[in-house]
């Protein structure tokens, strides 16, 4: 039950964030496709703040990857251009189904 609520919550959060920040999703999509970003953190206070941001980033990373994955899926299937929300939902659902596969 908790897993369903957590998954649904992240899905809704992804749709809300995509609706509020479509440009940022597109930019992050481009970064994901190009290369990883390397950063150096200096100083303990900055490291603590960066740690919190890292945890938040880990939690949100799946949402950005779902959007990129949705774009890849729609391009691969040669679907007509659809809006970003549907693209995100397609990628999100496929990723959730992949997470359910036991390893």
pLDDT of residue 39: 47
State residue 35's pLDDT score. Answer: 59
Out of 26-35, 39-48, 52-61, 84-93, least confident range? 39-48
Mean pLDDT of 53-64: 85
What pLDDT is recorded for position 37?
A: 47
Mean per-residue pLDDT, 4-29:
84
- What's residue 47's pLDDT? 67
- Nearest-angstrom CA–CA distance, 44 and 63: 29
pLDDT computed for residue 44 by the predictor: 54
In the predicted model, is pLDDT for residue 22 greater than 70? yes
pLDDT at residue 70, rounded to an integer: 92
The Cα 60–Cα 65 span in angstroms is 9
Handedness of CA 75, 80, 84, 90 (dihedral sign): negative
Burial class (CB in 10 A: 0-12, 13-18, 19+), 63: buried
Residue 32 contacts residue 65 (beta carbons within 8 Å): yes
Q: Where are the alpha helices (DSSP H) in the chain?
A: 2-20, 22-34, 44-76, 84-99
* pLDDT of amino acid 38: 47
């Amino acid at each position: 039950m908790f897993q369903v609520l957590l998954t649904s919550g992240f899905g809704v959060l992804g749709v809300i964030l995509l609706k509020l920040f479509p440009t940022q999703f597109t930019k992050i999509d481009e970064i994901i496709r190009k290369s990883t970003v390397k950063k150096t953190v200096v100083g303990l206070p900055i490291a603590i703040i960066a740690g919190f941001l890292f945890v938040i980033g880990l939690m949100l990373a799946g949402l950005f990857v779902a959007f990129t994955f949705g774009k890849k899926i729609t391009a691969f299937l040669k679907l007509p251009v659809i809006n970003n929300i549907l693209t995100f939902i397609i990628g999100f659902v496929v990723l959730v189904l992949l997470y359910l596969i036991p390893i």
